Amino acid sequence: MNSKSPRKVRKAVFPVAGLGTRFLPATKVIPKEMLTVVDKPVIQYAVEEAIEAGIEHFVFVTGRGKGAIEDHFDLAYELEATLKARGKSAEFEMLKASRPLAGAASFVRQQEPLGLGHAVWCARDIVGDEPFALALPDMLIHGRRGCFAQMIDVYSRHGGNIIAVEEVPHEHVNRYGVVALAGDMGHETFRITGMVEKPKVEEAPSDLIISGRYILQPEIFAKLATQKPGAGGEIQLTDAMIALMGEQDFFSYRFEGTTYDCGDKVGYLAANVALALDRPDIEPKFRPLLDKLVKK
């Protein structure tokens, strides 16, 4: 445990510049992050998770055609005025609670699709010299308590850099970034000794994969600034983290919750079903229909 309390995590970065080609034609004009799971856009789940963890400023790294995301987190004056006039107070309060405070959201363009590492680097001037949270919105993590809130607890104990991990079947490790671990810190937390992006199954250091939630120190930006393209010819965040690992502590945290990859059609459909079944206002009517479909 650090004797000195780590600096507070106030900002979160959301890379949302991807084209969403796996969901065409739906994403021809609608950002993939605006596709809904039950009744909320995918991006809103990640933002609400950050709000629960005490995040104060939200940095969206966007691209062309992503204006709907900015509009979604803005004041919809005509809609909110109409809701108030019609006495729909519950709907009005829901919309009000879903948007960041004035000045608490920033939008920056990633002008070229050069990889996740480059997208994170684009947020450097807004984040500044302080630790920050990073969420890959496609990875919707659902549980009793948000993943970021759990990670903040770990960060308050150990500082450094925190990476959320989860176990997958060993034959699937070649699809993900995989961590090597040593030193049990308790509370499902281990020191990370290495990382590898999409390793061969027989060479993977563990069955624990990086799950799309991070708490990173600002020194990562300097590593990203000089990082050469890696896998897929893109600037990989994993490569920059490996470079920083020689200078700073990295810890894994095995969080409580279930991840749904909403960048994949099957994962997206599973998220809709799982979250619908978790809603007391939807489940009683939805489950009989689902049971009927499953029996066909």
Question: Does residue 1 lie within any of the structural domains?
Answer: no
pLDDT (0 to 100) of residue 1: 47
Whichever domain contains 82, its CATH number is 3.90.550.10
Phi/psi at 11 (nearest 5 deg)? -120, 150
Residue 3, pLDDT > 70, answer: no
Classify 194 as helix, strand or coil.
Answer: strand
Residue 14, pLDDT > 90, answer: yes
Domain of residue 265 covers: 11-295
Residue 2, pLDDT > 70, answer: no
Question: Does residue 190 lie within any of the structural domains?
Answer: yes
Tens of pLDDT, residue by residue over 229-260, are 777 778 889 999 999 998 999 999 999 999 99
pLDDT (0 to 100) of residue 276: 97
Question: Does residue 3 lie within any of the structural domains?
Answer: no
Q: What is the pTM of this model?
A: 0.91
In this structure, what DSSP letter does residue 255 have? -
pLDDT (0 to 100) of residue 20: 85
**pLDDT above 70 coverage of the chain, percent:** 99
- Structure tokens of 68? 């709907």
Residue 23, amino acid: F
- Structure tokens of 34? 């605006």
Question: Does residue 5 lie within any of the structural domains?
Answer: no
**CB 200 within 8 Å of CB 172:** no
What is the pairing mode between strands 161-167 and 208-216?
antiparallel
| Residues 78-90, mean pLDDT to the nearest whole number | 88
| Residues 158-182, mean pLDDT to the nearest whole number | 89
pLDDT (0 to 100) of residue 170: 87
Range list of H helices, the chain: 42-52, 67-72, 77-85, 89-98, 116-121, 124-127, 147-158, 220-225, 237-245, 265-277, 283-295
| Residues 272-284, mean pLDDT to the nearest whole number | 96
**pLDDT above 90 coverage of the chain, percent:** 61
Classify 48 as helix, strand or coil.
Answer: helix
- Structure tokens of 220? 């990562």
- Position with higher pLDDT, 91 vs 144: 144
Tens of pLDDT, residue by residue over 65-83, are 888 999 888 888 888 889 8
Question: Does residue 6 lie within any of the structural domains?
Answer: no
pLDDT (0 to 100) of residue 225: 92
Question: Does residue 2 lie within any of the structural domains?
Answer: no
- Structure tokens of 178? 């995989």
**What does pLDDT average to over the chain?**
90
Tens of pLDDT, residue by residue over 182-234, are 877 777 899 999 888 888 888 888 889 999 999 999 999 999 998 887 777 78
**CB 120 within 8 Å of CB 23:** no
Residue 123, pLDDT > 70, answer: yes
| Residues 256-268, mean pLDDT to the nearest whole number | 94
For residue 19, give the nearest of 62, 74, 56, 59 by alpha carbon: 62
Count the domains in the chain: 1
Question: Does residue 181 lie within any of the structural domains?
Answer: yes
pLDDT (0 to 100) of residue 247: 93
Question: Does residue 99 lie within any of the structural domains?
Answer: yes
Residue 54, pLDDT > 80, answer: yes
